[in-house]
Structure 1
Amino acid sequence: MTDQAVDTDGAQLSGHAAAEPHFLGRTRELKELRADIERAGLDTLSGRKAPRARVLLIAGRPGSGRTALAEELVRQVADRYPDGVLRARLGESDGTPVPVGRAARELLTALELPTPAGAAEDDLTAALRDALADRRVLLLLDDAADAEQVDALLPDAPDCLVVAVSSGPLTGISDVRPCTLGGLDTKSALELLTRYTGSVRITVDPRAAEGLVEECQGQPAALTLAGGWLAARPKAAVSDLAKQLRSDGNEGTPLSRVFRLTHGLLPTPAARILRLLALAPAGLVDPHTASALAGCSVGTARTTLDDFVALGLLRSVDSPLPQYEVPGCLYPLFKALAHTQERPAELQLARARMLERTVRLLQSCRAITETDDLEAREKLQDMPRALRFPTPRAAADWLRIRRPSLLAAARLAVADGEVDTLARRLMSQLVRALVAHVGTQAAAPDLYDIHGLVLDVAERRGLHRERAAALLNLADVDARTGRTADALARYRAALDAGREANDPYATGRAMESVGGAHLELGDYDRAADWFGRALAQRLARDERVEAARLYGRIAAAHTYAGRYGEAQRAWRAALAGYRRAGDVAAHARALSELARVQEYAGRPEESLRTCQEAVEWARRAEDVRLQAALHLRIADTLEHLGDPTAARMHRGAAERMLGEEAPEHDSSPEQGGNACEIRSASAED
C-alpha cells in the first residue's frame, strides 16, 4: 500500500479528504516496534543463531488502525530489506481464515516462482521457505486468525522480518514481540477530524471536538466515519454529532454507533446499495457488481460508491479500473444490516443478479478474443454496450484485476448451495476466459481449484457427466505435475462416473487415461490392457482415427515392455486405420515409429525400407521436420550397415532441411535436436 492508499481500518485517509494524506500518530508504538527489530532475540542471547525470522505482532481490534500502523512500519524500514516486501492477507472480508496453501501460492507468485497446480499445502509452504532462505525480505501478514497460519509461512531465515497483524496473541510462536493498540492520542485524533471538516469547525469548539474523540474512544475507523459524516453536512456542528452519539447510549462499539448514524442518514437507494455490498465476493466491489446487486445503472452505482469512499464507508483500491474494497472492520456491520433489513428472498435475488452479470462479463471477456468467429462477433454486438470490452487488452486487464473477486465469487456460489445452476455457468465461463487470455498452462493453478469446485457441485447434485469431466480435468493436472498415483485414482473414479452417466466419450477417455497412468508407472501389461478396452469402444462406435491412435498407444506399451513383434502388429493396424481415414501426416509418423520398433527388434534392413517409405509420406504431408528426423535415422542405420557415404548424404539432406526450416519456425538449436525424437504417446495424458 502506498502513502496515498486508503485504509479506514487505520489512520490513513482517502484523497477525497486531503491532497497529501499521511500517517497520523502512533509515534510511541512505531518507536517501540523499530527498537524491537534491533533488540537481540532469545536465541541470540543464549548464544545460538536465530533459526527463523523475527516476528513482530501488531494486535488490536478491527478499526484500531493496526493495518495502517503495520504499513507505516513497513514503509519506514523497507530499505533494510533489499529483496523487497511481500504481503499476504490471511483473512477473508467476513473473517474466514484464508487457507495457508492459497496464501503461500500468492506469495510464490509474487516472487515469480512456479506454483504447481494442485500442489499440497506442505509442498507450497516448503517451496516458500526454500525461496526465502537466501533472501532478505520483509513479510507483512495481515488479518492473521491464529498462530498456525503465521507459523506455516515463517521463513527459515533470521535475516528476514515478519510483521503480523492480528486481533489477539500468537501463542505458540517463540520470541514474538507484541504491540497492542488502543486509541489514537487526542492531538492525532483531532487532526484526523480536521482533514474532513477543516480547522475552523474544530477550533471554534475544541471541547466538543475532544468530546467526539472521547465518544469514538480514539478509534481511527470510528473517527473516519465521524469525519465523513461531518464533511457531508457542512452546516452541522461537531457538538451535534457528539450529542447524537451520546444519546444513542452505550450499545455496541463506537464504530458500530457511528456507522448506524451514518447509515440512517443515507438516502434510501444508497442505504440499500450499502447493505447489499455485504454480498460482494472477497469484499471487492466495482460499479458492475454494485449495479447488479442493487438493480441500478452502472453510472449511478459508481457515483454512489465514490460517495461511500468520501464518507469512509469504502476504500478505493489503487487500480487502472474503478475498484473498491469493503473495510474488514465494517464488513460485519454491512452483513448484520443486510440480514436484518433485507428479506432472504431479496438477498438471494441480488446474489443471482450479481452472478448473472459476472457470467455475461466473462462471456464478453472471452468473446473479444474470438474476432475471427462470425457467430462470436454477432453475440458480442448483441450485448449491451456497458458489458462490452473495447479491445482484447482491456478485457485481459479486467480479468487480471478482477481475478481475486471472480475466484471468490465461484467459491461463494458453490458454498451457497442454492444457486448451483448459476455457479456452474460462472465456473464454465471463468475457465474459458482464463484459457483465452492467460493460457491453460499459466492458469493451471486457478483452473485446478475451479475444477475442484465443479466436482463439489456435481457430487452434491448427482450430475454424473459433470463429475466425470471434473475428475478427468483434475486427473490430467495431477498427471502433468507428477502425481501419477493420484491421477490414476481420479481416472478410475471418472470411469465410474462416465458409466453412470452413460457417456461414451467420458468412459473412453477415462479408460485411455487409466492406461496412460499405468504406462507412466511402468506397468506396461495393464497399460496395454486398458488401451485395448478403450480401443474396443472406439471400434464399436466406428471411430477409425481414434482407433488408429489407440493402436499406436498399444504399440508403445508393447515397445516399452520389449514385445517388439506385438508392437509391430499394432503399428501396422494403426497404419491401416490412418490409410483408410486419409490422414497422411499421421500415416507418416506411424511409419516412422514402426521403423523405430524394427530397429529395436534387430532388423535394420526392414527399418531402412520403412524409413524410406515414411520419408515419402512425410513429403506428401509437407512435414519438413519429420523428413529431417527420418533422414537422420536412415543415416544412423546406414552407418550401422557399413555404408558411411550414403549416411553422409542423408545427414547432409537433414541438415539442409532443418537449416531451411529454422528461420520460418524460429527454431533454436535445442529444438532442432528434439526434432529427431518422434513420440508415440498421446498429448492427452
Structure 2
Amino acid sequence: MTDQAVDPDGVRLSGEGQFLGRTRELKELRADIERAGLDTLAGRKAPRARVLLIAGRPGSGRTALAEELVRTVADRYDGVLRARLSEPDGTPVPVADVARELLTALDVPAPAGAAEDDLTAVLREALADRRALLLLDDAVAAEQVDALIPDAPECLVVAVSGGPLTGIADVRPCTLGGLDTKAALELLSRHTGSVRVTVDPRSAERLVEECQGHPAALMLAGGWLAARPKAAVADLAKQLHAESDEGNPLSRVFQLVHGTLPAAAARTLRLLSLAPAGLVDPHTASALAGCSVAEARSALDDFVALGLLHAVESPLPQYEVPGCLYPLLRALADAQDRPGELRLARARMLERTVRLLQSSRVITETDSPEAREKLQGMPPSVRFPSPRAAEDWLRIRRPALLASARLAVADGELDTLARRLMSQLVRTMVAHFGMRAAAPDLYVLHGLVLDVAERRALPREKAAALLNLADLDAQTGRTREALVRYRAALDAGREANDPYATGRAMESVGGAYLELGDYERAADWFGRALAQRLARGEREEAARLYGRIAAAHTCAGHYGEAVRNWRAALAGHRRNGDVPAHARALSELARVQEYAGHPEESLRTCQEAVEWARRAEDLRLLAALQVRLADTLDRLGDPAAAQLHRGAAERLLGQELSGGETGPQQSEDPKQGENACEIRSTFAED
C-alpha cells in the first residue's frame, strides 16, 4: 500500500507545522467513524466499508482535511491506499484504471485489458481480508466511488468530492466552507511572515474577508505579498475589494497574480495548462515555452514560491498544476494565446517527449555501435547518464507519458506526432520493464494506435494494432476475444496488401482455434498461412508451419497426417540447415509415432533425434530424449538399457545446471507475444 500523497487542489494546510483550522470538521469525521451505521441500527451486519465524504470547492482544503483525517486514524488500519478519480481538467479517470493502480499498490497482478467489472472484483477480493483505509480523491460521480468500495466492514473509505455522492447508502458528508479567521490569518502569515500581519491586523482581517477564507486564494495572496516585501497588506485588500464584482475570490487573486508577472513568465504559466495530467517537469516547461531547461526550472521554482504550482515529492524535479487553478489557466490560455501558438507549443512538447523516449531506449542498447553513435548525436539536454537513470525517469514520468499519448490522440490534429510518440513509448517500456510488466500499459497504447489508424484510414497500422491487442488478449486467456481481433487484423492486412500482417493473422487465427480445441479449423488456418509462405519462398517459416499443422493433427488424433507434416517440417529444416529445429522436429515425430502405436519406429527416430540434439548442443532436449528412450525401451522389454538412458539423462541435467540456466527451449509454436510491442508504421524507425 502506498503512503505518498499529492493534494490536487494545491492546498497544503498541514505542510508546515500543525494542521490549520477545521477542528470541528475533523472531530465530526472521527466521530462518524465510530458511529453506528444504518445496518447496525437495524440489527444487520454492514455489508461494505463505511464511506465518509468531504465535499467542497476545489482549493477549499478538502484534500488537506482528508489527509489529516487519514494521518490521525491510519494506525487503526493495515495500510492506506490512495487514488485520484479525475484529471486536472475534471475528466473522470476510468474506474478500471483506478482499480488497476490500487491493485498495483497491493502487489496483486491484474491481467492486461481486463474489463472494469473484473478488475473491481479482483480489488474487492484482495481487500476482503484486510483492514484498509482508502482515500479516493477528487471524485466526479458517485458511480466511481461505489465501484471501489470494499465488501469489508472493517475497511474505511474517505471520499473527496465537489458535491454530494447521491446513490451511495449511508454516506457521511462533511461540507467545507472557508477557514475561520484565526486559521486564515495563520495561513496568510506563513507566507508573508507574522510581522506584516501583526502590525496591521485589521487589514489582514479585511484581506481574509475579501478571500472569504478560501485557502487557495489566501495562499496566492500570501505568495504575492511574500514576493513584494514593500507591498502593504491593506493595498492588496483594497485592490481585491475594487474587483469584487469580477468572479470568485480565487479567480480575482489569480488574475491579480497573473497580471503582475513578467510577460514571458505569464505566458509560460498559461502554457502549463497543456501539461499532460497536470504534471510538469523542466523538460515539459522548456518545450512548451521554447526556452532552455535551466530557465524553465527557475520559472517553475518561482511559480511554486507564488503558490501557482507545488512541487511533487520525487527523486526528479517534478511539479503539479493545482486542480483549482487549472480551469483558470486554460481559460486565460484560450483568451490570450492564438490557437496556432497553442498547437505549436503542444507539438514542441510532444517532439521533446519523443526525443527523451528515444534517448531512454537507446541507452539500453549498450552493445550496439549504431546505438552509441545515435546517442552521441543527441543534444546533451536529452541524454541520460546511465540506463538506470533512464529507467527511473520513465517510471516517474509514466503517468504523464501515458496522459500525453491520450491527449495527443484526442487532439486529432497532431496524429503524426502521436504515432511517433506511441511507437517510441511502447518500445521504450518494453526495453526497460519487459513485455510482461509493461503489458497493461501496452494494451492502452495499442488501443490508442487503433483509434488513430481507424480515424486516418491506415489499414496497415490498424492490422498491427489489432494483432498486438489480440496477442495480449491471448496471453491473458481471452482467446475468443483474441480470435475476433485476429480475424479483423486479417481483413485490415488484406486491405493494406500487407503479406506480413495477413500471414501472421492467419497463423494466429489457427493458434486461437488450437487453444479453443477446434483442431480441424486450426490445421486449416495453419495450412492457409503455409500456402502464403510457400508462395513467397519463405522456407524457414514454412518449415515451422508444417510443425504447427502436425501439432494440430496430433491433438485431433490424426497421427498419419501428423507424421506426414512432421516429415515435411524435417525436410524444410534440413534444407535450411537449422540443426536445433531439426532435432526438435525429430523429437516430436518420435512422440507421434509412439502415440500411433509404433514403438520400434519411435525408438529409431528418437535415437536419430539424440544425434541431432548432440550436434545442436541442446542439453535439455538431449536429456528429455534420453528419458523418452528409457520409457520406450521399458515398453519394449529392455529395462537394463532403459536404466542406462535414465542415468545419462540425470548426468546431462546435472551438467546443464552446473553450467547455468539456458532458459526454456523454443517450441514449434511461435511465441505469440513476441510482436506485441510492435507498431508497424513509417514512424517505427528512429
With normalisation by structure 1, the TM-score equals 0.97
In the other structure, the counterpart of 1:10 is 11
Distance, in Å, in 1 between the alignment partners of 2:4 and 2:661 is: 46
In the TM superposition, residue 22 of structure 1 has moved relative to its aligned partner by 3.7
- The residue type paired with residue 55 of structure 2 is A
Structure 2 match to 1:168? 163
Q: Give the aligned partner of residue 472 of structure 1.
A: 467
Q: What is the CA deviation profile of residues 166-192 of structure 1, one whole-angstrom value per residue up to 9, with x for unaligned ones?
A: 011111111100000000010000000
Distance 2:333 2:584 in 1: 64
Change over 3 Å in CA distance of 1:639–1:579 after alignment to 2: same
1:245 aligns with 2:219: no
Q: 1:200: how far off? A: 1.0
Map 1:641-660 to 2 at 5 A: 641-660=636-655
Structure-1 separation of matches of 2:246 and 2:151: 46
Q: Does 1:368 align with 2:363?
A: yes
Deviation by residue 1:185-232 (Cα, 9 ceiling, x = unmatched): 100000001111111110111010000000000010000000000000
SS at match of 1:192: helix
Is 1:274 aligned to residue 262 of structure 2?
Answer: no
Report how far residue 11 of structure 1 moved: 4.2
Question: Any idea what the Cα deviations from partners look like across 1:455-500, whole Å, max 9, x if unmatched?
Answer: 0000000111100000000000111111111100000000000001
2:254 is matched with: 259
Cα deviation, 1:539-598, whole Å, max 9, x if unaligned, reads: 001111100000000000000000000000000000000000000000000000000000
Q: 1:331 maps to what in 2?
A: 326
Q: Distance in 2 between matches of 1:139 and 1:22?
A: 23
Contact kept? 2:56, 2:163, Cα under 8 Å = yes
User: CA–CA distance in 1 between the matches of 2:495 and 2:65?
Assistant: 57
Correspondence list, 1:133-152, <5 A: 133-152=128-147
Q: Which residue identity is paired with 1:683?
A: K
Q: Name the structure 1 match of 2:61.
A: 65
1:232 to 211, 227, 232: 227
For residue 9 of structure 1, report the CA deviation from its aligned partner: 3.8
CA 1:51–1:294 in 2, change beyond 3 Å: closer, same or farther? same
Q: Is residue 662 of structure 1 aligned with residue 657 of structure 2?
A: yes
CA contact (8 A) 2:583 2:609 kept: yes
1:25-47 CA distance string (max 9 Å, x none): 10000000000001010101111
The whole-number CA distance in structure 2 between the counterparts of 1:441 and 1:656 is 34
Change (3 A) 1:666 1:344: same
- Where does residue 17 of structure 1 map in the other structure? none
Q: For 1:123, which of 97, 111, 118 is the aligned residue?
A: 118
- SS where residue 443 of structure 1 aligns? helix
Question: Separation in 2 of the partners of 1:679 and 1:424?
Answer: 34
Give unpaired runs (5+ residues) of structure 2. Answer: 674-686
Deviation at 1:680? 3.8
State which of 434, 442, 446 in structure 1 corresponds to 2:441: 446
Percent pairwise identity = 79
Residue matched to 2:579: 584
Q: Match of 2:94?
A: 99
CA distance in structure 1 between the partners assigned to 2:501 and 2:646 by the alignment = 45
User: Quick one: which of 343, 351, 354 aligns to 1:348?
Assistant: 343
| Structure 1: runs of 5+ lacking an equivalent | 15-19
Letter in 2 for 1:170: L
Residue type at the aligned position of 1:681: D
User: How far is 1:162 from its partner?
Assistant: 0.1
Provide the C-alpha distance between the structure 2 equivalents of 1:256 and 1:655, rounded to a whole number of angstroms.
78
Deviations 1:597-634 (A, max 9, x none): 00000000000000000000000000011000000000
Aligned counterpart, 1:566: 561
CA distance in 2, matches of 1:494, 1:198: 65
- Once the two structures are overlaid, the 10-residue window that deviates more, 127-136 or 248-257, is 248-257
Q: Report SS of the residue matched to 1:472.
A: helix
C-alpha displacement of 1:249: 2.6
* Number of aligned positions between the proteins: 672
The corresponding residue for 1:615 is 610
Matches of 2:231 and 2:515, distance apart in 1: 75
CA distance in 2, matches of 1:665, 1:8: 54
CA RMSD across the alignment: 1.4
Deviation at 1:21, TM superposition (A): 4.1
- After the TM superposition, which residues 41-56 of structure 1 pair with which residues of structure 2 at under 5 Å, given as runs? 41-56=37-52
Match status 1:296 vs 2:291: yes
Residues 3 and 80 of structure 2 are in contact (CA less than 8 Å); yes or no, is this contact kept in structure 1? no
Q: Alpha-carbon deviations, 1:98-123, whole Å to 9, x = none?
A: 00000000000000110100000000
Describe the superposition over 1:324-368 as per-residue Cα deviations: whole angstroms up to 9, x where unpaired: 000100000010000000000000000000000000000000011
**3-state SS of the aligned residue for 1:55?**
strand
For 1:470 and 1:2, the matched residues in 2 are separated by 37
Deviation at 1:317, TM superposition (A): 0.1
Change (3 A) 1:13 1:449: same
- Give the distance between the partners of 2:114 and 2:170, measured in 1 at CA: 31
Q: Distance in 1 between matches of 2:600 and 2:5?
A: 77
- TM-fit CA distance, 1:664: 2.1
Alpha-carbon shift at residue 315 of structure 1 (Å): 1.1
CA distance in 1, matches of 2:9, 2:237: 20
Q: 1:85 aligns to what SS in structure 2?
A: strand
1:441 counterpart SS class: helix
C-alpha displacement of 1:683 = 2.0
Residues 498-552 of structure 1 show CA distances to partners (whole Å, capped at 9, x for unaligned) of 0011100000000000000111111111111100000000000111110000000
> Given that residues 9 and 64 in structure 1 are in contact (C-alpha distance below 8 angstroms), is that contact kept between their aligned partners in structure 2?
no
| Alpha carbons 1:11, 1:192 under 8 Å: kept | no
Distance 1:232 1:289 in 2: 25
Aligned-pair CA distance for 1:251:
1.5
Query: Counterparts of 1:363-512 in structure 2 under 5 Å?
Result: 363-512=358-507
515, 521, 524: which one aligns with 2:519: 524
Moved more, 86-95 or 247-256: 247-256
1:4-43 mapped onto 2 (5 Å cutoff): 9-12=10-13, 20-43=16-39
Q: Paired residue for 1:74?
A: 70
The residue type paired with residue 35 of structure 1 is A
